[in-house]
Amino acid sequence: MYRALKEIQLEAEPTAEPLTVTGYDEPVFAALPATNPRYPSPTSLPLPAPSPSSPAPSSEEEYHATLIHGRSSLPPVHHTPPYTLPVAQLHFRSHSPKLLDFFVHFSLHAAASLGIPVSKPAKLPTQRSMWTVPKSPFVHKSSQENFERRTHKRVVKAWDADPEVVERWVGYLRRHAMGGVGVRVVRWERAALGVGRDGLAGVKERVGVEGRKVPGEEVRRLAERIVEVEGGKVKA
C-alpha cells in the first residue's frame, strides 16, 4: 500500500523539464543574426545601472538600454539636431504651473523615445487678465472686488524629424492629453523640387487643355474693340 501511495504521489507531482525549442540545440539568442554593433546585444539587456563614480551612458541607445530606476522623473535625453530644420513647434498653456511643467516634461520624454531632436522648454511671458466687479448688485455700490487670471506659457521646438514621426508624437500627446493644459501645434511640411511643375502637368492632363498661347495681334484687336465700345458710351 505504501508503494501504491508513492506511485500516485509521483504521478501527481509536475516534472520540471527544461524548455527546449525545436531546431535549436543552443540558447535562442545564439541563433540570432549579428546585430548592429552600434546597439547593445540582446543578450546583455538590460545594461547595469552606472555607479555614482562612473559616467552616465554617453549615447541615447545606451541610456534607453540601461536599467535606471525613476527614469521618468529624470530629465529626458536631448538629441542633437544634425541639420536644424524646424518641423514642429508646440505651445503649452495652462493656469496651473505644476500641471504645465508636468505635461511638458512628459512631452519631452515622448520625443526622446521617438528620437526627435527637441529644444528645452522656454518660458513665455505670463498673460494676466483682471476683472473688476461690484460686490453687490446695488446700483450705488460702495466697494468693488478684483479678480485676476494668469495664463502660463511654454514653447518647445522640434527639428529634423520625419512628418510621420511628428504625427505619431502629436497623436500620442493628444491621446494622453492632460486636463487643464492646452497645446497648440505648428508644423512645417516640405515638398520635393519640381512639385509645381508636376502639379501643373497633372491639372492640364485632367482638364485636357494644352495651354495654347494667344497671338499678340488678336490681343491688340480685342483692346481696340474695347476702346471703341467704351468710347462710344462716353460720347453718348
Residuewise pLDDT in 10s, the chain (236 residues): 556 656 666 655 555 455 454 554 555 445 455 556 666 666 666 666 666 566 666 666 777 777 777 778 888 888 889 999 999 999 999 999 999 999 999 999 999 989 999 999 999 999 999 998 888 777 677 788 889 999 999 999 999 999 999 999 999 999 999 999 999 999 998 888 888 888 888 877 776 655 555 567 777 888 888 888 887 766 65
What's the grid cell of residue 210?
A: 494644352
Nearest by Cα to 179 from 96, 105, 108, 109: 96
Task: List, for residues 173-186, the tens digit of each pLDDT value.
Answer: 999 999 999 999 99
How many residues comprise the chain? 236
Q: What is the pLDDT of residue 46?
A: 67
Return left, alpha or beta for 180; rule: phi > 0 is left, psi -120 to 50 is alpha, else beta: left
Task: List, for residues 88-101, the tens digit of each pLDDT value.
Answer: 999 999 999 999 99
The residue type found at 212 is: R
Element (H, E) at 55: none
Q: How far apart are CA 147 and CA 131, in angstroms?
A: 5
Sheet holding 86-94, edge to edge: 122-134, 144-159, 86-94, 181-187
Please report, for the chain, the start and end positions of each structural domain, with discontinuous segments joined by +: 18-69, 79-190
Fold of 79-190: Alpha-Beta Plaits (3.30.70)
DSSP letters of 138-176? -SS---EEEEEEEEEEEEEEEES--HHHHHHHHHHHHHT
